[in-house]
Amino acid sequence: MQRGGTLLFLLLFLALAVTTLVLDRANRLDPVKHAVAVLATPIQEALTSVVQRVVHLRQFAVDVEQCRAENEDLQSLVDQLIIENVRLREAEIENVTLREQLKFKVANPSFELLSAQVIGRDPSNLAGYLILDRGTEEGVAVGMPVLTHRGLVGRITETAPHSSKALLITDPSSSVNALIQESRATGVIQGSPTQGLIMRYVQQTEELSPGDLVLTSGLGGNFPTRLIIGQVTAVVKKDVELFQQAIVRPSVDFGRLEMVMVLVSFQPLDFEAEQEAP
């Protein structure tokens, strides 16, 4: 029974195929083909559009991923270039400072100078001091002057094996014997929290003028002579006072100090020790 059904199906399929072939050769199926084509074209176009959109979306995703990878590579390169530029700029600034220090050392062959990096400062600005990366192991001792090629910075007040503390001349507790380069008038430079530096105890008879250069006098033995301190910007003179004063602008920009020099060849005089000696 099952074999008979299968044979019948094959015979019908063969008959249908032969009939279709005969009709096609006789061009009797053209209307049917046209109708099928008319019905199938929109479906085919829709399927083609969907396939193209899928392909475009896939390509867009690939392009986006590729752009993201390229942007990450470019950003990494930009970061590297920024870091390299900063490093080169810092090296350039340091070289400029070292060249200026070298010129100062050549111009002052009698000075034995030790370069030091500023590694700390007073965060409150209430006390004027710096922390340096040189200490007793490098030959630094209390009392040694600290300076830059522009002028006097201060003096060493505390030491450790590999660090030291320098009191700035702008600190109110600091005092430096000084003189006016032009008139040779003497006085004492003291720090001021509001005015920078003040030159006190200048005789009323002395001539002081804005623009006068102020140097260390060497009196008292705490500092060597002829170190630049600053320039007079104003003179305060009252007839009823015994002394006149001068407002002095420091030659050193204390807010931008990064490297200084310690004058290790200078030993301040200790008058009390000399007087006690037999």
Q: What is the pTM of this model?
A: 0.67
Task: Note the CATH number of domain 176-253.
Answer: 2.40.10.350
**pLDDT on residue 162:** 95
Q: State residue 61's pLDDT score.
A: 77
Interacting residues of 135 by C-beta distance below 8 A, sequence separation 6+: 159, 160, 161, 162, 163, 164
Q: How many CB atoms lie within 10 A of CB 10?
A: 10
Q: Which of 149, 137, 142 is nearest to 165 (CA)?
A: 142
Query: Which of 31-40, 113-122, 154-163, 252-261 has the largest mean confidence?
Result: 154-163
The burial class, CB within 10 Å (0-12 / 13-18 / 19+), for 254 is middle
The answer to whether residue 72 scores a pLDDT higher than 50 is yes
User: Which has more pLDDT, 145 or 64?
Assistant: 145
Query: Is pLDDT at 140 greater than 80 in this prediction?
Result: yes
Q: How confident is the model at residue 4 (pLDDT cuts 50, 70, 90)?
A: low
Mean of the pLDDT values across residues 67-75? 82
Higher pLDDT, 275 or 3: 3
More confident call, 144 vs 195:
144
Beta-bridged to residue 198, according to DSSP, are 190, 247
Domain 114-168: which topology?
A: Thrombin, subunit H (2.40.10)
Give the residue, 110 or 139, on which the prediction is more confident.
139
- Average pLDDT on 192-215 reads 92
Collect all residues with Cβ–Cβ distance below 8 Å to 246 and sequence separation of at least 6.
Answer: 187, 198, 199, 202, 208, 212, 214, 232, 234, 235, 236
Give the pLDDT band (50/70/90) at residue 124.
low
